Amino acid sequence: MSLSDAARTVRANAYAPYSNFKVGAAIRAASGEVFSGCNVENVAYPEGTCAEAGAIAAMVAAGQTQLTEVYVIADSPAPVPPCGGCRQKLMEFGQADTRVTLATTAGTEISYTLAELLPGAFASAHMDNT
């Protein structure tokens, strides 16, 4: 299954009763396996958890820790970028040149590298003196 298909499919499962804004994400691990996630809202945390975080959690739960490609889709006028926290999580498991494609359900796509989405990312090397 393509990343686009996986993200579109999982987006339908998003739990977004407060915002009605469903997001799906799919990531390809270094093994080639595809993992997906959707946003999940709840009454105590109505902004919910992000689709990208769900896909990463699924990958890690499967014992994998490196991603090579990301695809995110939402029903919005323009492609929606990952939030700051998800950008950092994506960088943790990806590389600066990892491709992230953002899409709308209408078919608009735009692609970035993780370095373009998160310039100056915090990395483990920043803690070398501790």
Q: Which residues are annotated as a binding site for Zn(2+)?
A: 50, 83, 86
How far is 46 from 17, CA to CA, in rounded Å? 9
Q: Is 107 left (phi over 0), alpha (psi -120 to 50) or beta?
A: left
Q: Could you list the residues known to form a binding site, using ranges.
A: 39-45, 50, 83, 86
**Per-residue model confidence as pLDDT tens for the chain (130 residues):** 899 999 999 999 999 999 999 999 999 999 999 999 999 998 877 777 899 999 999 999 999 999 999 999 999 999 999 988 899 999 999 999 999 999 999 999 999 999 999 987 777 777 788 7
The yes/no answer on whether domain 3-127 falls in CATH 3.40.50.720 is: no
Residues serving a catalytic function are 52
